[in-house]
Structure 1
Amino acid sequence: MQSKVSHKRRNTVLFIPPAIGGLTSHSGLGYHSSVALTEPSYVSDHNSHAITALLDALQQHYHCSVDGLSSAFIEHHFRQRELPAKAHLIEAGQVAEDVYFIHRGVLRVYYIDQQGNEVNQQFYQAGEVIAPVLSLTTQEASPFYLQALSEADILVAHYPSLHRSGRNNIDWLAAENAILKSVYLKTARREAQMLLGSAEQRYRWFLKDSPELAKQLPLYQIASYLGVTPVSLSRLRKQIKAASTPRP
């Protein structure tokens, strides 16, 4: 049964370059009857673990030097924030100003199709930076929503301030370029998979690329991301399991 969302039509400009034309809309994504942004819940003291995790992610995930990125630099630009599950950071129609580092939790980027169904575009998990590139760089409104699927701890930074700091900090400039490149590559990979892969191939790619998410997320969230119905995905999973089970 499809869940529909009552909403006013909004201006639509890309959040992260999507492959909307290649997606099939699906539902089952309840909890969006009326989207309201969650009021900020900032932590008074910086969590040293979150800062260390960001520096580690820049080195290991984004392959950047952090020699010139001290804890003081991170504390100056990033605020720590706690999110309850289902909280929204960005709503369609807003202009993005912030970038986010996920210390704990899972977030999704989704949009609402012409039938009022929520369609998952991307998932982000601990150790990743979320940068709504097009809205940040063009100051145009986004049609995408950014929502926490679980309780989450994040670091939030004002992008214009971070970008200006790159003029005097070559390590941050390199980190920023690496993050933006990663966002574009993630989007390009997603677009290619949606356009070129069968439902089974897309699911196998998802299992390979995001094994933790495959275990954590409910079936209907994964189905929306893959562009299939929950029923079709359930049937596909049974077929894959049966094919991999040795016969007596």
Structure 2
Amino acid sequence: MTQRLSKDALTGFGECLAQLGLAADECTEALGQAKCVAAPRGEILLHQGACQAHGYFIVDGILGAQHYGDCGGLFSKEFYFEGELCLLYHSLLTADAAPYQLEAVTDVTLVRFPLTLLKQASWQGVLIALLSQQLLYKEEKEAFLLLKRPEERYIYLVNHRPMWVERLSNVQLARYIGITPVSLSRLKARLA
């Protein structure tokens, strides 16, 4: 990774932390512990069943949190895009093994940082801000999955998360909204 890209990546991560309320000196310390990394599509950043030690700020590309079932099923918990922080909150709060695998859906450029930072007293405001964001997101996602029919879920993504529709495959979108890829293709054809 070029030095310029590394500097820009770290700057973006620092800006994200500042927006979450982290003091400037703490941001400087965090940037000193962060590392810019690149991962090719398909690379596993956290194996399902492993303990999570790092979080990621996504500079470029898409990460996915996937669960691989015992019978070979694959379930998509979440997708993370540029400018987002990626960490598994349950694993962070409980220190339990991750029930999901974090993997690169596309080639990605990331800033990797140790999750131990979030345990520091000076980071409690950031942790509360992240947990508040996550709680609101979880509530919205529950309503999305429980209160909407598959067609409404797809239309919601088209209207509110167009980047998802543009950048994820039909298989990935279908898995996320809880239908088969064939059903999604039919739904798209019907709406066209």
Same-fold call, TM cutoff 0.5: yes
For the aligned residue pairs, the C-alpha RMSD in angstroms reads 2.2
Contact 1:77 1:162 in 2 (8 A): no
2:58 pairs with 1:102:
yes
Q: What's the counterpart of residue 200 of structure 1?
A: 151
Q: Which is further off, 173-182 or 82-91?
A: 173-182
Distance 1:146 1:72 in 2: 27
| Structure 2 CA distance for partners of 1:77 and 1:180, relative to 1, 3 Å | farther
Distance 1:111 1:229 in 2: 17
| 3-state DSSP of counterpart to 1:81 | strand
Q: What is the CA distance between 1:66 and its match in structure 2?
A: 5.0
| 3-state DSSP of counterpart to 2:14 | helix
Distance 2:117 2:125 in 1: 16
Q: What is the CA distance between 1:181 and its match in structure 2?
A: 2.2
Identify which of 144, 157, 164 aligns with 1:213: 164
Q: What is the CA distance between 1:58 and its match in structure 2?
A: 4.1
Identify which of 104, 112, 117 aligns with 1:161: 117
Q: Equivalent pairs: percent with the same residue?
A: 26
| Structure 2 CA distance for partners of 1:161 and 1:188, relative to 1, 3 Å | same
2:71 pairs with 1:111:
no
Deviations 1:148-186 (A, max 9, x none): 11111111111113422xx2x3xx432232123223332
Distance 2:127 2:37 in 1: 21
> Which amino acid is the alignment partner of residue 225 of structure 1?
Y
Distance 2:89 2:43 in 1: 21
| 3-state DSSP of counterpart to 1:89 | strand
Distance 1:140 1:74 in 2: 24
| 3-state DSSP of counterpart to 2:113 | strand
Structure 1 runs of 4+ aligned residues shifted over 6 Å read none
Q: What is the CA distance between 1:44 and its match in structure 2?
A: 9.0
Q: What is the CA distance between 1:105 and its match in structure 2?
A: 0.5
| Structure 2 CA distance for partners of 1:69 and 1:230, relative to 1, 3 Å | farther
2:30 pairs with 1:74:
yes
Q: What is the CA distance between 1:209 and its match in structure 2?
A: 2.7
| 3-state DSSP of counterpart to 2:24 | coil
Q: Which is further off, 182-191 or 213-222?
A: 182-191
Identify which of 135, 144, 148 aligns with 2:100: 144
Contact 1:214 1:222 in 2 (8 A): yes
Counting helix residues as a fraction of each chain, which structure ranks higher? Answer: 2
Structure 2: give runs of 5+ residues left out of the alignment. Answer: none
Q: What's the counterpart of residue 51 of structure 1?
A: 10
Q: What is the CA distance between 1:122 and its match in structure 2?
A: 0.6
Q: What's the counterpart of residue 130 of structure 2?
A: 179
Contact 1:95 1:136 in 2 (8 A): no
Contact 2:22 2:125 in 1 (8 A): no
Give me the TM-score of the superposition, normalised by structure 2: 0.89
| Structure 2 CA distance for partners of 1:196 and 1:48, relative to 1, 3 Å | same
| 3-state DSSP of counterpart to 1:47 | helix
2:35 pairs with 1:84:
no
Paired residues in the alignment total 191
Q: Higher relative CO (CA 8 A, sep ≥ 6), structure 1 or 2?
A: 1
Between structure 1 and structure 2, the one with the greater Rg is 1
Distance 2:8 2:26 in 1: 14
Identify which of 224, 231, 244 aligns with 2:175: 224
Q: What's the counterpart of residue 49 of structure 2?
A: 93
